[in-house]
Amino acid sequence: MNPDIRVRFAPSPTGYLHIGGARTALFNWVFARHHGGKLILRVEDTDKARNTEEAAAAIYEGMRWLGLDWDEGPHVGGDFGPYFQSERTDIYKRYLKKLQDAGHIFEDQGALRFRSPREHVIVDDLVAGKIDFDLSNEQTHPDMTIRRPDGSWIFHFVNVIDDIEMKISHVIRGEDHLSNTPKHIELYRALGAIPPQFAHIPLIHNKDGSKMSKRDQGASVDYYIKKGYLPEAVRNYLCLLGWSPKDNREKIPIDEVIRIFDLNNIVRGHATFDPDKLHWLNGEYARELTDRAFYDLAVATLESAGLKVDNFPEEYVHGAIQTCKGKINTFDELPAYCDFYFTDDISYNPDGVAKHFTAENKPRLEAVRKAFDALKTFNATEIEATIKSTATQLGVKVGAVVHPTRLAVTGSNAGPSLYHLLEILGKEKVLARIDQALAMF
């Protein structure tokens, strides 16, 4: 354990929490937890035109949803605040004066610029390796602005000052910042400060090889919250974007990730985001939920979809939802999968109607209705036996009876176990729905 390990996640609140930003926050959080260090949340809100409180709130919500708590920062406090750059102007002025007094600053058309020493800068990155940056050519590497003519600060300057002031030991960030690092090291040297260790993690790309941008579907954490993903599954998947446990496992609990996480196991090259793999992984986590947890999430999802779940007896709701467990990957799939339990306004699948509501199937469905009507005990065991015996009497395979029956009572070609869902719906409702379906033939 090393309490001197201090890392930071420093988002700019200009929109939602991007999935790439979430992965950066996650790697910093895991690294801090592995070493017994601290994660600092620092809000880089110097861009007054684009920064909003709503965007900052989305960052907090996304991190909390993923289970990424921070040790210092907004809503938590700490000894190295303020944690909003907009509140740190006096600190920046103090460091600016230090650079001015040492002759490192000159004015150019109202802007303040840092005079580069024009040298090679070696960046010894924990992921990218040792890289020699040649900053000697003023044409390709002009002196960087640190303060605009309007008095606003440039990212490069305040970023470095904050890392110095907050005693950041490791900077873990996206590879797109690697080219900025030699400039930052020049500032550290000019201020007589020791740079932190850098680790630039691979960027996230789409399956087609393009860089994931804010415009891409699934680029925000909020998308997964609204789609009914489980935070544990999304967090697990993000862990695997650029890092590997070296044993090809895809489902790995976060406690074990924390235990074995090593920056040396971060791969070079971009990480490919595969929505299908995340969808599958979420299903694996959904199947492991306790019955109570699944029930609570299911009810919340169904109610959000406008289904009046609370109009039904609790026992009925429990039984209905239990037939769905293990059958869906994300909770946004649930309303379409089981809405027939909670509404009599059945909408029949057009393909199913064309395939199963045929003249040939009408007498079969009538035979099923007659057999159901004669049942004294309407449970899954008796229902299954009745359907099978009806199929035998009609001289057809069981499927020829099952498919039109399912479509008649649910409106769908697929769904929970037919025998159990019929038991839950109850004899009276099943007969009424079959009658409604028969009227369509």
**Residues forming the active site:** 214
Specify the 3-state DSSP secondary structure of 264: helix
Task: Name the burial class of residue 238, with classes exposed (0-12), middle (13-18) and buried (19+) by CB atoms within 10 angstroms of its CB.
Answer: buried
Q: Please, where are the H alpha helices in 313-349?
A: 314-322, 334-338
DSSP 230: -
Find all residues with CB under 8 Å of 129, minimum gap 6, and list them.
Answer: none
* Residue 1 to residues 33, 70, 240, Cα–Cα distance (Å): 9, 18, 24
Q: How far is CA 27 from CA 8, 240, 403, in A?
A: 10, 10, 49
Spatial separation of the C-alpha atoms in residues 174 and 13, rounded to whole Å: 17
Query: Parallel, antiparallel, or unpaired for β 111-114 and 145-147?
Result: antiparallel
* Alpha helix positions (H), 213-313: 221-226, 231-239, 254-260, 275-287, 291-304
Q: How many residues are listed for the chain in this entry?
A: 441
In terms of Cα–Cα distance, which of 94, 107, 117 is closest to 147? 107
Question: Are the CB atoms for 242 and 212 separated by under 8 Å?
Answer: no
| 275 closest CA partner among 202, 222, 212, 207 | 207
Which residue carries 């050519």 as its tokens? Answer: 137
**CA dist., res. 231 & res. 249, Å (int):** 19
Which ranges constitute the DSSP H helices of 273-426? 275-287, 291-304, 314-322, 334-338, 350-356, 362-373, 380-394, 398-410, 418-425
Can you name the residues that pair with 38 across neighbouring β-strands? 6
